Amino acid sequence: MDENAIHQWMIDCFGPIQGEMAWSQFSALPESVRSQIMAQNGGQLPNPTEVKAMLSAFTAGGLNTPGDMKQSVEEGPINVKLAKAIAQGRVQAKDSDSTVSAAQAEQVTQAMSQANLWLDAVCSFDPAPGQAQTLTRSSWVDGTLDSWAKFAAPVASSMNKALLEVLGSRFGDLPEGEVSGMFAGPIPIPMPEGLKDPKTLISLLGNTSFAMQLGQAAGDMSSEVHGSFDQGVALLSNPAGGLISQNIREYATSLEIDEGEVMNFLALNEAAHARLYAAVPWLMPRFEALIGKYARGVNIDLEAMQDQIDQAVSLDPESMAGAINLGKVGVQDTPEQEEAMRSLETLLAQVDGWVDCVVWRSGMAYLPHLEQLREMMRRQRAVGGPAERTFGTLMGLQLRPKRLREAAEVWEHISNQSSASERDTMWSHPDLLPALPEENSEDAADIDAQALQGSSQPTFSQASGNNQATESGAAGSTGSSIDWDAELAKLLDSDQDSPESDAAEDGKQGNNGTESNTSGSTDAKPAEHHDEDGDDNDADNDEESKQD
C-alpha cells in the first residue's frame, strides 16, 4: 500500500475537500507514526462504502454537527433519536397506516368505554385517568421507545465500557486528550474541533450501535403488539394506555373472528392493566427497580467481544450492532441477577394473572369467543415473538410471565372466596400479594385442591358455534389440574399436534385405550361393578335389563 493509494482512498471516503484535509493531516504525521498506521490490519484499507455508512449512521441520528455528537455521548449510552429513526424506517417498510381515521378512533373509544363499564362490575379499582389513545405503529414507537431505552441503559453502559476497553487495546493505548483524527482501519478520519478525543468517539460508536439494535427491535415489535400494556408493564406516558387499530384489524382477520369482538377483548386487557397501574403507585417503580437490578449486574466477556469484533465486517455501527450482542458476549447470570429475574417473572405473572382473572369475569357474558381469545393471548405471552426475543438479547431478560396460568388460578380462587374489594386490596402492598405455588411442586397447577373441592365445577356449553360460560364456569375452571405449560410445550415441539388431537389422546388414555362413551360417567359404573363383583353380576344385570 503506497501513499498514492491512501490519498485516493481518503478522497473516495470523504470527498475532495474532506479527503484532502485527511491527507494533509496524515502527511503531517512523523514517518514512524505513518509507518505504524499503515502496518495495522495488514495494511488493508476499509471499504469506502463502509466508512460512509458509519458517518451516515451518525447523521441519521441527528448527529449533524460536532456539538450533536458530543451531546449524544453526554446524554446517555443510547442514541434514542437514532433508535427512533431506525424504528420508524422499519415501520414505514411494512405498509403501515400513517394516520388514524375518524372511524378507527371512534371504534377504539367505544371499545374502551364499554370495557370500563364491564370492569366496573368485577373490579374495585377506578378507571385510569385520561382517555385511551388510538395508536398507529409509528405513534406506538414514539410513545414507548423512551421507556425501552431507560430499561436498556444499564446494559448499554456496560457494553460501551467493554467496547472502549477492547478497541483501546486493539489500537494500542488510547492517548489522553485530543488527536487529529479517528482511525478507520489504519487511516485517521479528520474530525472537527471538540470531537478529537478517541474515547469520546468510541463511546459514540457504542451508543450508535446499541441504538441500531434498539430501533430494529422496536420497529419489528410495532407490527406485533396490540396496545401499550402488551409486555405487562406501563410504557406510555398516558396512564389510560392505547390500542393499535391496524394491528387489531389484522389480528382479527388472522383469527377469523369478528373485529369488534377482538377489539372489545383487547380493550378489556388494556383497561384492566391501566386500572391496576393507576391504582397501585408502587407497581411500576418496582418493575423498574427489578429490571435495573438485573441490568446493572450484566458483565461482558471481553475475550468474546474481541472475537465478535474481529469477525465484524468493519467498524461501522451496523456491523458493530451485530458484534456487541449480549447473547454473544454476556457472562452467565450471577445469583443476584437470578434472584432479580425470579422476582420479576413472579411479579409479571401476578399482574397478568390478575388481569386474566378480571377480564374473564367481566367479558364472559358478552364475548362469545372469550375462551379462545384468552387462550391465544396466554400462548402468545408464554412464547413471545421475534422482536421480544430481540429485546431479550438486548437487555438479557425476557419480559414474559412464565407462570401466568398458575397466577390466574390463584387470583380466580381468591375471587371465589372473597369480594372484588378484598381481592384488590391485596395490591396495597407488595408483601400482601398472594404467593404462587412452589414451582417444583408435584402439581403446581393445583391451587389449594382441598379448598377447591367445595367450589363450583365448570359448566361450559357450546351452541351454534358460540361459547357461553356462567360465572360458576369461570370459577370452576380454576380447579383444573392439567399442567398447561407442559401441554403447551408438547404443542410447540410438534407442528403436527393440535389442541384437539391432544384432548382426544388424553381421552383415550383416560379410558384405557377404549373410545369414550357419550352417555357420560353413569355408563362407566356397571363396568366398575362388574370388575369388583365378578361374573355373577352379569346375570343380575341382564335380568334388570329385561325388566326395564
How does pLDDT run across 468-481, given as a tens digit for each residue? 333 333 333 333 34
Strand, helix or coil at 116?
A: helix
- Which of the pair, 519 or 46, is modelled with greater confidence? 46
Q: Where residue 55 falls among pLDDT bands split at 50, 70, 90?
A: low
- Which of the pair, 28 or 508, is modelled with greater confidence? 28
Residues 205, 180 contacting (CB under 8 angstroms): no
DSSP state of 366: T
Percent of the chain with pLDDT over 90: 35
- What distance in Å separates the CA atoms of residue 245 and residue 387, rounded to the nearest whole number? 19
State the cell numbers at 317. Answer: 455501527
Section 491-500 average pLDDT: 47
Report the chain's mean pLDDT, rounded to a whole number.
Answer: 74
* pLDDT exceeds cutoff 60 at 495: no
Task: Select, from the ranges 38-42, 114-118, 499-503, the one with the highest average predicted confidence (pLDDT).
Answer: 114-118
Q: DSSP string spanning 181-226?
A: EEEETTEEEE--TT---HHHHHHHHHHHHHHHHHHHHHHHHTTT--
Least confident of 90-99, 410-419, 444-453, 531-540: 444-453
DSSP state of 126: P
- What distance in Å separates the CA atoms of residue 389 and residue 403, rounded to the nearest whole number? 18
pLDDT of amino acid 531: 43
pLDDT of amino acid 169: 64
Q: Where residue 440 falls among pLDDT bands split at 50, 70, 90?
A: low
Residue 542 burial (CB count, 10 A)? 10
3-state SS string for 385-414: CHHHHHHHHHHCCCCCCCCHHHHHHHHHHH
Q: Where residue 112 falls among pLDDT bands split at 50, 70, 90?
A: very high
Q: Where residue 307 falls among pLDDT bands split at 50, 70, 90?
A: confident
- Which of the pair, 196 or 243, is modelled with greater confidence? 243
On whether the pTM is more than 0.75, the answer is: no
Q: Where residue 168 falls among pLDDT bands split at 50, 70, 90?
A: low
Q: Where residue 392 falls among pLDDT bands split at 50, 70, 90?
A: confident
pLDDT of amino acid 170: 56
Which of 336, 116, 130 shows the shortest CA–CA distance to 234?
130
pLDDT of amino acid 514: 39
State the cell numbers at 288. Answer: 423498574
